[in-house]
Amino acid sequence: DQQVKQNSPSLSVQEGRISILNCDYTNSMFDYFLWYKKYPAEGPTFLISISSIKDKNEDGRFTVFLNKSAKHLSLHIVPSQPGDSAVYFCAASAPNYGGSQGNLIFGKGTKLSVKP
């Protein structure tokens, strides 16, 4: 049973517009959420994160929003650029989950295509 869900396998956006990637989770024990970006043949690269005590975190063009009551988070990219085209993974973590405090539970990813 997937605890972190990214229900959109792909998203296509025009350059300069906003990209919104969504993620839902089921485990209320998750207290830290991250977004990773992955290019083909490379490992995931950390993008931005948010603690469960916050509802928004912003870093340049990237903003993550967390709605705990809905168990939903989203990543906003404004403005979108062609270089943002990649697979974006949502991940979550809970204290002492599975015995360690650092292992991440990933969604299946959303492939973002930003068209010039």
CA distance 101 to 91: 14
Place of tokens 């300069």: 16
For other proteins, give the closer residue by CB, 24 or 107.
Answer: 107
Footprint of other proteins on 72-111 (CB under 8 A):
89, 91, 93, 95, 98-109
Choice from 1, 43, 69, 83 touching other proteins (CB under 8 A): 43
Contact 66, 33 (CB under 8 A): yes
Nearest-CA neighbor of 63 among 80, 51, 78? 78
Nearest-CA neighbor of 68 among 88, 49, 86, 51? 51
Place of tokens 């405090």: 101
Choice from 13, 24, 25, 44 touching other proteins (CB under 8 A): 44
In the complex, what is the shortest distance from the CB of residue 88 to other proteins, in angstroms, rounded to a whole number?
11
Stretch that binds other proteins, among 13-21, 30-38, 62-70, 71-79 (CB under 8 A): 30-38
In the complex, what is the shortest distance from the CB of residue 75 to other proteins, in angstroms, rounded to a whole number?
15
CA distance 53 to 68: 9
Binding residues for other proteins (CB under 8 A): 4, 6, 32, 34, 36, 41-46, 49, 51, 89, 91, 93, 95, 98-109
